[in-house]
Amino acid sequence: MLRPRIIPSLLVHDNGLVKTVNFKNPKYVGDPINAVKIFNEKAVDELAVFDIDATVLGKEPNYSLIERLASQSMMPLCYGGGVKTVEQAQRIFSLGIEKIALSSAVLQNPNLITEISDRVGAQSVIVVLDVKKKLLGGYEVYTHNGKKGTGINPFKFVEEAQKLGAGEIVINSIDRDGQMKGYDLDLIDKVREKITLPMTVLGGAGSLNDIEKIIDRHGVIGVAAGSLFVFKGPYKAVLINYPTQLEKNKIFKINQ
């Protein structure tokens, strides 16, 4: 039975774990392998790791890091960063990753979604769209850590991605990244209207109430967060955390 998922989102920069605000000024917050071990103990639903250097620097995925992450992870693990070919995707899956996140490459070549889905199964292919509001209204998809506008309408592209065989869509709000002031509900609502695929939202969570609001609004949905699960308190002390089972039961309205 499908159910909502609460997903920590980790960003890797220079092989370290970082957190950004509006995709800028990465702040070092620890070792990604250590973070995976801590999240194991907290029995998270799923973990997403994004290498924010690979595409910008034109590098191959860091297979050594991916292998170490996968070997330590006891939960479903999604990896994204630098994947441009079917062969790269297959190699990553062979290292123990359950889901692969595609972004820049499929914006340039949408048929890559179909090629990878046909080879590894649609359920493992995740399309990630980093989205920013336009000055005169509407939204646009960006790449290269929010630096390059593509002119692509996210609502049209998610429909295309669904037709081409994507297994899930991740919508990441650049405007809300690291702000911890709540998700962009209008953006989420509009994407949800366009697709029937599993969907995960990212960007803006400042409290468990923000997560609960999304689940109340959309039911079975993935709700991801970065800052919420690596910072604690008003001064943002670095502390890996995750909802307890009791807190999750409240969010999911179990035994209420």
Catalytic site residues?
Answer: 130
Question: Following CA atoms 227, 231, 232, 236 in sequence, which dihedral angle do they give, to the nearest 10 degrees?
Answer: -100
Tell me the Cα Rg of the chain: 17
Among residues 205, 124, 191, 127, which one has the least CA distance to residue 161? 127
For residue 25 the two structure tokens come to: 């000024």
Produce one character per residue of 146-177: b if its CB has 16 or more CB atoms within 10 Å, e if not: beeebebebbebbbebbebbbbbbbbbbbbbb
Q: Are 146 and 130 in contact (CB under 8 A)?
A: yes
Buried b (16+ CB within 10 A) or exposed e, 192-215: bebbebbbbbbbbbbebebbbbbb
**Beta-carbon contacts of residue 215 (< 8 Å; ≥ 6 apart):** 4, 221, 223, 251, 252
